Amino acid sequence: MIFTQNARQPFSAPLESLRTALADLADATNHAGPWHSGAFRTVVESGLLAGFIGSDDGGLGASEAALLSALEGVAAGCLTTALVLTQWASACRIIATGSAELRARMLPALASGQQTTTVGVAQLTTSRRHLAGPALQASALDGTWRLDGTCPWVTGADSSDSLVTGALTAAGEALFFVVPTAAAGLVISPPMRMLALSGSRTASIRFSAVEPAAVIVPHAHTPPRAGGLATTALAIGATRGSVAILDREAKGRPAIGPVAQGFRDEAAALAARLAALANRAESDHEDPSAPADRDGLRTAANGLVVRAAQAALTASKGAGFIAGHPAERAVREAMLFLVWSCPQQVATAMLCELAHLDSPP
């Protein structure tokens, strides 16, 4: 099993075994997705999924720091699988705020891998917020909810049994809904061909008078926020994947060793900051640090993952420039962090860093 008995941290040996197994499947996952390559089944068999589900709902209830550490390990082996896992986990967390009946019906099956789910809430956080009306609207008619509009970004839309999404009512209230992906009126577009991670089978979904299976009213009125700690954990994990490429190159060229060690040390320092934020959030029962701390860490992780991938490509020379080489894939995948769940403050900081500006103009 991945987690220690009290689920405060992952066991290093099982996590490393999972990372290695996912790395061996990474090429197949990159093309077919983790549901078809065997990567998701490998995650299920490791016992990792149960850590994301509370002990009262059929899981282990691992600590936030333990989950982030596990996500780093998964991302170091296969970023596509890690991305899929974060979306599954986000859906589970929203379901866990629902009714006791909904939790009992869904969470044990999700923890064991018998059912799959994903999330689509970008329309409430970063995507299509400029439109005059909501991208996805919820309407109540005779006590029954109907969903109309578009959910623009859904990872594994055609490979999941259910979708957890968010919509706005006419009064502007944000509600969450659980929708079977086979529901009438729900149309899943073909998966997008992206710069990287096309194996995540990310697609948009159109809703036409779709009846959800369940509604979840948020406990707080604060809308979901982009740029959570899990995104930073994946950037640190992807950095470690690039460091592994540097380590391989250093076997024949000792001069590369200090470069690899420098990136390794920087990643370890960011991982320590990430764990501290997670522990503080759990102990204080408050938002994971001040937003500035979280955004500052995300910005640092973004810069690191891009630089580490570029270093891996440089060390790999021309071979790394050929499609299919791990360094080539690492460079493309690093670009994800510049656009995925990226708060405006982080995006602005990254633009200034790329332009060598101290502050926004």
Global pTM reads 0.93
Rounded-to-integer distance, Cα 318 and Cα 277, Å: 40
> For residue 45, what pLDDT is reported?
95
Say yes or no to pLDDT of 142 above 90: no
Per-residue pLDDT tens digits for 87-107? 999 999 999 999 999 999 999
Per cent of the chain over pLDDT 70 is 92
Enter the tokens of residue 5: 């008995």
pLDDT-derived band at 26, boundaries 50, 70, 90:
very high
Per-residue pLDDT tens digits for 152-207? 999 999 999 999 999 999 898 899 999 999 999 999 999 999 999 999 999 999 99
The pairing of strands 144-154 and 203-210 is antiparallel
pLDDT-derived band at 228, boundaries 50, 70, 90:
confident
Say yes or no to pLDDT of 341 above 90: no
Say yes or no to pLDDT of 343 above 90: no
Kindly state the average pLDDT of the residues 228-253.
96
Helices and strands (H and E) in the chain: how many? 13, 8
Say yes or no to pLDDT of 287 above 70: no
Residue 296: other Cβ atoms inside 10 A: 16
Rounded-to-integer distance, Cα 2 and Cα 17, Å: 10
> For residue 231, what pLDDT is reported?
95
> Ranked by mean pLDDT, which of 23-37, 281-295, 337-351 comes out on top?
23-37
Q: Please provide the DSSP assignment of 118-147 as one string.
A: EEE-HHHHTSSTTSSS-SEEEEEETTEEEE
Kindly state the average pLDDT of the residues 116-134.
74
The CATH topology of domain 12-115 is Butyryl-Coa Dehydrogenase, subunit A; domain 1 (1.10.540)
In CATH, what number does 229-354 get? 1.20.140.10
Say yes or no to pLDDT of 126 above 90: no
pLDDT-derived band at 21, boundaries 50, 70, 90:
very high
> For residue 280, what pLDDT is reported?
84
Q: Do domains 12-115 and 118-216 have the same CATH topology?
A: no
For the chain, the residue count is: 361
> For residue 284, what pLDDT is reported?
59
Kindly state the average pLDDT of the residues 13-41.
96
> For residue 130, what pLDDT is reported?
44
Rounded-to-integer distance, Cα 72 and Cα 2, Å: 13
Contact 58, 111 (CB under 8 A): yes
Q: Tell me the CATH class for 118-216.
A: mainly beta
Kindly state the average pLDDT of the residues 63-79.
96
**Direct distance between the N- and C-terminal alpha carbons of the chain, in angstroms, rounded to an integer:** 51
Spell out the residues 6+ positions from residue 327 whose beta carbon is closer than 8 angstroms to its own: 242, 245, 309, 312, 313, 315, 316, 319, 320
Domain coordinates of the chain in residue numbers? 12-115, 118-216, 229-354
Per-residue pLDDT tens digits for 40-69? 999 999 999 999 999 999 999 999 999 999
How far, rounded to the nearest angstrom, does the alpha carbon of residue 261 sit from its chain's CA centroid? Answer: 26
* Lowest pLDDT segment from 13-27, 274-288, 329-343: 274-288
Kindly state the average pLDDT of the residues 307-318.
98
> For residue 321, what pLDDT is reported?
97
Spell out the residues 6+ positions from residue 10 whose beta carbon is closer than 8 angstroms to its own: 2, 3, 4, 51, 62, 66, 69, 70, 73
Mean pLDDT over the full length of the chain? 91
